[in-house]
């Protein structure tokens, strides 16, 4: 869905979920909107979670409601406090606040257990001894009904006794489970006596060793919603087939409220994998440098890369909320970043592949301060002073000894403009013993201070530069897509599609002195090069910068071409 399709007649953001909420509030089916964001703390959040965060917290803000942060901590074998802390940090960084204190499914373990016993006492649940493989065999297929377990008709007394013994730790992992008694012939496999509790002798991060049986997501989720008074339980489409079970449990238990589940399409992003299982594999097998590697689609990785939270929120708004699965081009995310950063990021000069320029007619041992604009898109950003001296660094790519016809930058005998400074002309090229260019000898025109000639003569190139004696040496990390193909794994193992050129470290980069004090995570523009942010690995003496995104916006160009083609 395009951005325009997400707007109603008044220009307000609208989608099918927001339309449902508007109608529910208007018809008083809902007095006050309550949503929740329920991550499992078994890994770091990724950009797909950001879409869900923006939806759940966003609609709560828009409709003067509340959004709970609730951790689905029902699988202690995979959950860690590190992930809980990271999730809280990610939600806050995106700009959202949850209602009250964070909640946990484990807060409700005793209540859930009581309700499980109630289902047993009413003949709606039973303890089953089938192994996992036997359960799969008995479950049937999409075209064939399942078969009843031989333990399905145990008496209520026997089931209660076994379930209580499960809780007391009498049985080993996998020896028994508690299942709902629904319909083994149902066309929806999720209603074929789903598992409600399993035995897991694992210490829980919050409850310790108090429990050795844990509820499944299907049993904990809807009931936790009901306990919290959630009105609209917003899930991705893979839970659509689970909704009948969600509703069955709500209808068959004395829950304090009646939440409704609604599903929307999950985010699929080109050149990325958003499966948590695959992201864990990338981290654990060392294919990336941790969860916050700037190539990762995790929120922490995007943050370290320098992506502003406002750009992620804008991205979520533009892609909209639909029930149709599709792949979103990662170029749209880049476009959202560029559009924001072009307006807000300060400009600084940095030379990534330096070549020395000596201005022979500039006084030796002297320097001056020249005024440079911080952001030409924002007059309020003001200006700064940058030092200029006899020796400068320029980009090696900005000089060619024997240039082709359309190369307009510096060459022997050619005059160019140095940004905010003077016109210079190259007169001599100095090479080392191997024939490599190591220095350019130039002259400058003092009358062109500020970048304009009093006689009106024009030059075809403006170049950035850094004063040699004032330069700060830095490391710059250039990042590309982690995967070389738009759909990783489409033709085999997704690991085979990893882009071996996705990470390139440049050392010996020369930066204007103001960049030594750049705040970690603050994104700015290296003039003519792209947007970069200071990395926590750096120091004031030797800063480290990560490339956030380049300057060229191919996505916007393609959109304009497509729009023009439609008009034609």
Catalytic residue among 139, 276, 295, 313: 276
Catalytic residue among 14, 40, 147, 167, which? 40
SS3 99: coil
Element (H, E) at 528: none
Coil, helix or strand at residue 504: strand
**What CA–CA distance (Å, rounded) separates 303 from 548?**
9
Q: Which of 78, 152, 258, 266 is catalytic?
A: 266
Q: What is the DSSP letter of 145?
A: -
Give exposure, 235-260, as e/b (b: 16+ Cβ within 10 Å): bbeebeebbbbbebbbebbebeeebb
- Gap between the Cα atoms of 189 and 335, Å rounded: 42
Alpha-helical (H) ranges within 67-143 are: 81-93, 109-121, 132-139
Q: Catalytic annotation on 276?
A: yes
Known catalytic residue at 266: yes
Q: 47 in helix, strand or coil? A: helix
Active site residue 368: no
- Token pair 């990610």 is found at 90
Contact 90, 82 (CB under 8 A): no
**DSSP state, residue 514:** G
Q: Which DSSP category does 79 fall into? A: -
| H or E segment and range at residue 483 | none
Contact 163, 120 (CB under 8 A): yes
Whole-angstrom Cα distance, residue 358 to residue 469?
Answer: 12
The set of catalytic residues is: 40, 266, 276
């Amino acid at each position: 869905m395009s951005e325009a399709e997400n707007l109603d007649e008044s220009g307000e953001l609208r989608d099918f979920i927001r339309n449902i909420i508007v109608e529910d509030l208007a018809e008083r089916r809902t007095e006050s909107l309550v949503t929740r964001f329920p991550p499992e703390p078994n890994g770091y959040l990724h950009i797909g979670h950001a879409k869900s965060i923006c939806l759940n917290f966003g609609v709560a803000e828009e409709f003067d409601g509340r959004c709970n942060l609730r951790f689905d901590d029902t699988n202690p074998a995979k959950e860690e406090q590190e992930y809980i802390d990271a999730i809280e940090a990610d939600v806050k960084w995106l700009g959202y606040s949850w209602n009250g204190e964070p909640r946990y499914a484990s807060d409700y373990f005793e209540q859930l257990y009581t309700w499980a016993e109630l289902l047993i006492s009413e003949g709606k649940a039973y303890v089953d001894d089938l192994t996992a493989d036997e359960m799969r065999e008995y479950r049937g297929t999409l075209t064939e009904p399942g078969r009843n377990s031989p333990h399905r008709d145990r008496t209520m007394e026997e089931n209660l006794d076994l379930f209580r013994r499960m809780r007391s730790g009498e049985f080993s992992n996998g020896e028994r489970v508690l299942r709902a008694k629904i319909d083994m012939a149902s066309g929806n496999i999720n209603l074929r006596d789903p598992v409600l509790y399993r035995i897991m002798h694992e210490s829980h991060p919050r409850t310790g060793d108090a429990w050795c049986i844990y509820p499944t997501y299907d049993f904990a989720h809807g009931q936790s919603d009901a306990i919290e008074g959630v009105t609209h339980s917003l899930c991705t489409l893979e839970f659509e087939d689970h909704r009948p079970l969600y509703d069955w449990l709500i209808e068959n238990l004395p829950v304090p409220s009646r939440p409704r589940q609604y599903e929307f399409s999950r985010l699929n992003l080109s050149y990325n994998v958003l499966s948590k299982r695959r992201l864990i594999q990338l981290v654990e097998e060392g294919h990336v440098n941790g969860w916050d590697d700037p190539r990762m689609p995790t929120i922490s990785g995007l943050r370290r890369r320098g992506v502003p939270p406002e750009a992620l929120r804008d991205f979520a708004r533009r892609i909209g909320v639909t029930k149709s699965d599709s792949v979103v081009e990662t170029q749209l995310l880049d476009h959202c970043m560029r559009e924001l950063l072009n307006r807000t990021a300060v400009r600084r000069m940095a030379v990534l592949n330096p070549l020395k320029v000596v201005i022979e007619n500039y006084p030796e041992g002297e320097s001056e301060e020249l005024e440079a604009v911080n952001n030409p898109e924002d007059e309020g950003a003001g200006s700064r002073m940058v030092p200029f001296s006899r020796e400068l660094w320029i980009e090696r790519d900005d000089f060619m000894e024997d240039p082709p016809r359309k190369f307009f930058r510096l060459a022997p005998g050619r005059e160019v403009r140095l940004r905010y400074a003077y016109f210079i002309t190259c007169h001599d090229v100095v090479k080392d013993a191997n024939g490599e260019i190591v220095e350019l000898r130039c002259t400058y025109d003092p009358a062109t201070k500020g970048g304009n000639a009093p006689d009106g003569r024009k030059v075809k190139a403006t170049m950035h530069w850094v004063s040699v004696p004032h330069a700060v040496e830095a490391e710059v990390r250039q990042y590309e897509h982690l995967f070389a193909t738009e759909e990783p794994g489409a033709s085999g193992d997704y690991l085979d599609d990893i882009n071996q050129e996705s990470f390139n470290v440049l050392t010996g980069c020369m930066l204007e002195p103001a960049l030594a004090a750049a705040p970690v995570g603050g994104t700015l523009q290296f003039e003519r090069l792209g947007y970069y942010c200071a990395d926590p690995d750096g120091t004031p003496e030797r800063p480290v910068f990560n490339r956030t995104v380049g300057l060229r916006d191919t996505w916007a160009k393609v959109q304009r071409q497509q729009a023009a083609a439609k008009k034609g």
